Chains A and B, each alone.
Chain A
């Protein structure tokens, strides 16, 4: 769009943007292993919400309700448990993912990053870091959740596909909203309030796909159709964010 803003020709630095993004990713991982702020915040937050959900739903154990076709089904069933797991992961993302942009602003290192690498590299590095942290959190939380609520995985390949594509799309949305919110003064309150409405749509898609984990189906199309919705959503968000990132990042 108009002017060229890629600063990989800054003189001091002749890396490609992929190398720059990986360098930023390594730096963030290093900082994270030293302080453990993002992972710790998200881990504790999601474990606390896990306990809350499990406790709140204990009363529903063994309760039967009538569905629309008149059959008695358990009220606290697998798709319901899966939906609440995603609500939990969604809140976890909003507890920790803003950190990666906020601390660059707070410590004043944002300007150094701007000098050192182009906006595309910053976006790619931060997206990679956020996705890794969120995947790590969901890798810890999901088995615990399954044990505490007695949730089945259902069709295993579908379950893994939903978890992977859902987490990646979730972190794509959270990353760009975090970058936006980090530019404002009241970042914390803004981040959740601006990001959650966008995530609601993704959650509707994910819950629709998650239901498919527990329905036996012969044709692969039944499994692929809801997954395509999630993947397309993530890809579109990443594409638009990468195109527009320099408007967010630079003044």
Chain B
């Protein structure tokens, strides 16, 4: 899909989701403020899902980076590309994680009466936030050696997959949670008006993720090119 077609579809879908959240979906039974609180799911659930999908995407490119590094045919562009994609996915994951935490906290304030309840999913998303933060912290420690930075942050991304899998699947099931566990996974429980908005919303967030990732990878390439140019200029002066 071309860049402008992607942006056009994304713009249309986002407008539709925002309109639909208030005009197509009706208030749902069991939620606060006459069911209006349920409308958060069109924005909160995709954010929460993408905060973990982003981690998996980042790990995929981290594995690819190390795989290329171990292979015989080492092309610099392919190595850099997989590193940038991994780092970009990590940044987006961090962003979606923050958004999911904030929207979730607002919902908790309205629905459960307190902005923070130590619900297992609240606990796990805040630890997830920390995992993302420490990945970016590790990257800042290797500013002068991009190859080493790429290699070591790929290793960290792969090892931190274990805590993140525990956070996404194990912790919320081991501890008692207030989150609905079956509402969205069982299609019969969700009414048609919600499906009409929720499914396009997931599609819109998917396109948003792809678009932001393309943008971030190209800015990272520009930053690296500028760094190399400055390095050459300094060497030429000497």
Binding site for B on A (CB under 8 A): 1-3, 176, 180-181, 183-186, 190, 193-198, 200-202, 204-205, 208, 226, 229, 233, 236-237, 240-241, 244, 247-248, 251
Contact = CB atoms under 8 A, between A and B. Distances in A.
Give the secondary structure class of B's interface: helix
Contacts of B72: 2-3
B117 interface: no
B86 to A, nearest CB: 14
A237 B171 contact: no
B155 A247 contact: yes
B148 A183 contact: yes
Interface in B164-180: 166-167, 170-171, 174-175
Nearest to B144: A185
Interface in B133-184: 133-134, 137-138, 141-142, 148, 151-152, 154-156, 158-163, 166-167, 170-171, 174-175
B66 interface: yes
Contact of B133 (A197, A229, A241, A248): A197
A236 B69 CA distance: 23
B147 to A, nearest CB: 9
A247 to B, nearest CB: 5
Nearest to A246: B70
A247 B69 contact: yes
A194 B137 contact: yes
Contacts of A229: 166, 170, 174
Contact of A247 (B134, B141, B151, B167): B151
A153 to B, nearest CB: 23
A180 B138 contact: yes
Interface residues of B, number: 34
Given A190-B138, A198-B163, A201-B167, A180 B152 contact: yes
Given A184-B142, A247-B154, 4 more contacts: A176-B159, A194-B134, A197-B134, A229-B174
Given A236-B162, A240-B158, A186 B131 contact: no
18 contacts: A1-B67, A2-B67, A180-B152, A184-B142, A185-B141, A186-B141, A196-B134, A197-B127, A198-B163, A201-B163, A201-B166, A204-B123, A204-B171, A208-B174, A244-B158, A247-B151, A247-B152, A248-B152
Interface string B45-83: 000000000000000000000110111100000000000
A240 B66 CA distance: 13
Contact of B66 (A1, A176, A184): A1
B170 to A, nearest CB: 7
